[in-house]
Amino acid sequence: MDKELQCDIAGHFASLKRLNDTSPKARYESNADFCLVDLATKAMEAKLLASREKGRGGWWDDDRCSVDDLQQMLAEHLTKGDMVDVMNFAAMIYVRGIIAAGSGEDGQ
């Protein structure tokens, strides 16, 4: 795991502990949600960058990668237990659905 990401994780969890000790539950939950999205986003971005550096890409282009292809890769990575890839493939499928809905095509 990237050292910067490790530092972010440690810092976020230290913040969560402090908030849990001093704040109402609703504030703790809200901050936990923020930390979840922040940490997940950073991990997803790092994984996408590493994949682009390996020459992978085109998830947004149906001529290069269909939604069915993305769903198959999602299932494969879920079985592998690679949750960052799972988040990325799920996000790709989600965004492809938005793109399809905006263009009048049937979204997934």
In tens digits, the chain (108 residues) has pLDDT values of 555 555 566 676 676 666 655 556 666 777 888 899 999 999 999 999 999 999 999 999 999 999 999 999 999 999 999 999 999 999 999 999 998 888 765 544
Dihedral class, residue 105 (left if φ above 0, else alpha if ψ from -120 to 50, else beta): beta
* Global confidence as pTM: 0.71
Which pLDDT score, from 0 to 100, does residue 72 have? 97
User: Structural domain boundaries of the chain?
Assistant: 1-56, 57-108
Which pLDDT score, from 0 to 100, does residue 8 have? 67
State the amino acid at position 28 in one-letter form. Y
* Spatial distance between the Cα atoms of 46 and 42, rounded to a whole number of angstroms: 6
Radius of gyration of the chain (CA): 17
